[in-house]
Structure 1
Amino acid sequence: MDSQNSSRSCKNLFIAVVLITGFSAIFYMYYEPSVNWLNCPVAPKHDDDCRNICINALNRTNQIQIVNDNCSVNFTSVQHQLTQTEAASSQGDDLDTIILVWMWPFGQQFDLGLCSSMYDIHGCHLTVDKSQFNKAHGVLIHHRDIHGDLSNMPKLPRPPFQKWVWMNMESPTHTARHSNLNNLFNLTSSYRLDSDILVPYGRILENTGGKKDYEIPRKNKLVCWIVSNWNPNFRRSKFYGEFEKHISVQTYGNHFNKRIGDQDYTDVMSSCKFYLSFENSIHKDYITEKLYRPLSLGTVPVVIGPPRANYEEFIPASAFIHVDDFKTPKELADHLKLLDQNDNLYRQHFTWREHFFAKGGSFGLEHACYSCDHIRRNKNYRVVNDLNSWFWG
């Protein structure tokens, strides 16, 4: 009896297995699988929609074949987009930092794509497209172009990650003071050494090729001065009035009705033994192109500006002559005449050129690129609470 029951059970089990197998075969032959549970429609209305759906599906295990069979988009394209998305996610901070130049400084446009080639600063995207405001990591705003009522400043709410950069290269004497700028900016960019983003009017850079013999340009003039902005109350105007009584000075510029062009400037400057690098106002760190351009062209600058110690924070001590080192304009004139007669003494003012060279700055572009680099490297919160006291004192 037990033997018969056992035989019957085995027979029933075999029949059940055959039926299940047959049913499964018929089911998979005629059943059209639905992928609604993947949220990927069989016939999507828009390829872009399906592409996004398929990318989501690809992130799930074992979904590649189902997606490939049911999405009406090219699988290779989908897989490429997924790879790009994953790469962007993994790069994080390597994505471009966006700097919006809110207004061209003094209306002077510059090439927005030179950060990497000129300053070896990478991963920056400079733009003047104000529709990018909400995406911009930093907004560069030139002080001299700000309306007193702030009517030309950004009106949209500032994104929490965004930093506003105050840019200015004029001295406090020639910069209008706006009382409503406190707590408005996050960073400062100027010639001041204590700026968040220092951009001097020029730089002394090392000769990367090592020590070099410097050949001083041929000279046929003793002292030169180019000036257009003349104000009899400026210190430089008063000093010049006494100085010219004791030495011959070749003068150029609008004030002397002898304007010169860029090429003439280079020729004239390099032909002068000394140049009067007189600033129009005296302020800490305010050392302009009036110093760096003569240095770059092989002329010794004679300076009026902040104290000698401040100059020496920017350039070698032997590279220039400071009027404050002499008691009177006559003493300075006599010293320059001595150097004119003594070639060895004169050449001592060029010993720094064996190891360094002078380079002028690039107005606007340099601020934008270095602002980008600073914001890219510094993610901390920052605000300039009292801009007025810091800059104007």
Structure 2
Amino acid sequence: MESQNSSRSCKNLFIAVVLMTCFSAMFYMYYEPSVNWLKCPAVPKHDVCGDVCGNICINALKRPNQIQIVNNTCMVNFTSLRHQLTQTEAASSQGDTVLLIWMWPFGQQFDLGICSSMFDIHGCHLTVDKSQFNRAQGLLFHHRDINGDLSNMPKLPRPPFQKWVWMNMESPSNSPQRSNLNNLFNLTANYRQDSDIMVPYGRISENTGGKKHDEIPRKNKLVCWIVSNWNWNHKRSRYYAELKEHISIETYGNHFNKRISNQDYSDVVSSCKFYLSFENSIHKDYITEKLYNPLSLGTVPVVLGPPRKNYEELIPGSAFIHVDDFNSPKELAEHLKLLDQNDDLYRQYFTWREHFVSSAGVFGLEHACRACDHIRRNKNYRVVNDLNSWYWG
């Protein structure tokens, strides 16, 4: 009997050793333990636990008995991660369209839950949780944040239903062109009118609220310009150099060693009769906040950019002055001086405000919300075969 018990114990021990060996082999095969696995590196808050160990943190949350395998470095983000995971799962169950923001545009974070309150867009859920890759109907990529070798793009196979959205608000002159982006995206989100999801720098819209504009702000300056990005090769720099010979221009910005804060910006611009809304490069539809901000602040913009016809597709022709309407900077200066002396003529540039209002776009957030809404409403197949020819061609 004693011999049988001993034999049985040895057999059980042998089985236990075999099972442990198999378990260990499977553990190392699938989990690939390393230093990074044991300790999550410090990463930006929006990336939760980062690309290196994010999935491990998520798996730990899903397995209550395994939380202790994750180092305390990740524990500080568990509450945020669980909330994000719960929200996304709830969105999927409710039929909401999920848009994964793969990279914060220029690193600028924004509130992910206000598409409905800001833009009256419903049925959309925004997330930055990359573990939701296979659940997301759309992914948003910011062009200037994509590595040239695409090393920071998704490595997993793209689900057939998933739309990849290319986002860019810089002009072609200020955007690096890359040949490896063709046939990669399904949709474009851009200021261009012919993009799939048009998100301009601003809008002139009907004043449906019945609120009348305040009286034109009091003016104590004639012409103003704020500029930090200075380049003598820019058309605007050369035009300014000649214009200032014929009219006084109040200048601000880093280039002129007169930096102004965001708080002071409105006061400065609204105090000027005219503002030089000069774009840094000339491209189709590239009409930025340099136009829309002065319009909303009660100042007449003097524009240098695409042709007048392009501007008039987006704003009333009587709301601005185009440098192309004059044969020379000297002739423009004479016109501005005439308006300065004739209040009735000057006020004609504000008649559009009786029926319309000017508003600025919301960088990043608006692109994400409108991209998600577009994907929710459009289920057709779409691919951008030649992004380079469309945008840089």
3-state SS of the aligned residue for 1:135? coil
The answer to whether the 8 Å contact 1:211/1:355 transfers is: no
2:357 matched residue in structure 1: 357
State the Cα distance separating 1:92 from its structure 2 match.
10
Aligned residues: 304
How far is the alpha carbon of 1:214 from its aligned partner? Answer: 4.5
Matches within 5 A, 1:49-88: none
CA deviations over 1:113-165 (Å, ceiling 9, x no partner): 11000000001100000000000010000000000000000111101110000
Letter in 2 for 1:144: R
Q: How does 1:1-393 map to 2 (within 5 A)?
A: 95-210=95-210, 212=212, 214-393=214-393
Contact 1:201–1:288 under 8 Å retained in 2: yes
Contact residue 163 and residue 187 of structure 2 kept, 8 A:
yes
Question: What is the CA–CA distance in structure 2 between the aligned matches of 1:207 and 1:182, rounded to whole Å?
Answer: 41
Shift of 1:263: 1.2
Report the CA distance between 1:205 and its aligned residue.
1.4
CA contact (8 A) 1:227 1:254 kept: yes
CA distance in 1 between counterparts of 2:349 and 2:371 reads: 34
Structure 2 partner of 1:17 = none
Q: In structure 2, what residue type is equivalent to 1:369?
A: C
The alpha-carbon distance between structure 1 residues 282 and 213, as it changes in their structure 2 partners (threshold 3 A), is closer
Task: Judge conservation of contact 2:92–2:98 (CA < 8 Å) in 1.
Answer: no
Name the TM-score, length of structure 2 as normaliser: 0.76
8 Å Cα contact 1:192-1:284 kept in structure 2 = yes
- 1:209 CA displacement: 3.2
For structure 2, which runs of at least 5 residues remain unmatched after alignment?
1-89
Q: Distance in 2 between the 1:176 and 1:233 partners?
A: 18
SS at match of 2:274: strand
Moved more, 208-217 or 368-377: 208-217
CA distance in 1, matches of 2:296, 2:258: 23
Q: Which whole-Å CA distance do the structure 1 matches of 2:93 and 2:333 have between them?
A: 57
| Larger Rg computed on CA atoms | 1
Shift of 1:212: 3.3
1:186 partner letter: N
Letter aligned with residue 104 of structure 1:
W
The CA distance in 2 between the partners of 1:114 and 1:314, in whole Å, is 26
Matching residue's letter, 2:282 = I
Amino acid at match of 1:312: E
**Deviation of 1:385 (Å):** 0.4
CA distance in 1, matches of 2:333, 2:185: 46
Hey, what's the Cα distance between the residues in 2 that align with 1:198 and 1:337? 37
SS at match of 1:152: coil
Identity %: 80
Flag structure 1 segments of 5+ consecutive residues without an equivalent: 1-87
Equivalence for 1:23:
none
- Aligned CA-pair RMSD: 1.5
One-letter amino acid of the counterpart of residue 99, structure 2: I
CA contact (8 A) 1:214 1:353 kept: no
Letter in 1 for 2:226: I
Query: Aligned-pair distance for 1:206?
Result: 1.1
- Matching residue of 2:17: none
Cα shift readout 1:301-325 (whole Å, capped 9, x = no counterpart): 0000000000011111011100000
8 Å Cα contact 1:236-1:278 kept in structure 2: yes
Please list the CA deviations of residues 79-103 of structure 1 after superposition, one character each: whole Å capped at 9, or x if unmatched: xxxxxxxxx9xx9997210000000
Partner letter of residue 288 of structure 1?
T
Aligned partner letter, 1:378 = N
Aligned amino acid, residue 309 of structure 1? K
